Amino acid sequence: MPPRRERKTWMLPAAPGPSLRQRVEQKEREAGLRCYDPSCGIGPSDDDPIPEILAESVKQLSIHPLSHPGEGSLCAHTFHPACLVSAERVAGWGAGGKSEPHVEVSCPVCRDLGSVTREEWEEGVMAL
């Protein structure tokens, strides 16, 4: 009788690619409808038959490095101004003093520390 083969432990096969939800959210990001905030309240929901696209809801901003405020982007994540303000308030960050031209924030996704301009911050506050 031949020797028994050793049994391999069963493992779940690798996924064939992103799920349908991930693909839809990526397309919405590419179109500017959804930002990278996990709790984006401006992006379309599953219940919307035909989403209304407003110019102010499409605008997204990047977080700038602390070393060069107002220029470049800290990471690849972009946010609607209202989503960024909401996420920062939930995380316990605020606008600080109103005399400073830049507001220190952290990216809600990768947690890198950066800044946005006071105008971008106030735009998000007004949109809430």
The C-alpha atoms of residue 128 and residue 114 are separated, in whole angstroms, by: 22
Average pLDDT over residues 81-86: 91
Owner of token pair 């209304």: 52
pLDDT of residue 51: 65
Average pLDDT over residues 31-46: 82
Amino acid letter at 58? V
In percent, the amount of the chain with pLDDT more than 70 equals: 90
Average pLDDT over residues 94-119: 84
pLDDT of residue 55: 61
Q: What angle separates helix 81-90 from helix 118-127, to the nearest 10 degrees?
A: 90
**Please, where are the H alpha helices in 8-117?**
20-30, 55-58, 81-90
In percent, the amount of the chain with pLDDT more than 90 equals: 14
**What's the whole-model pTM score?**
0.75
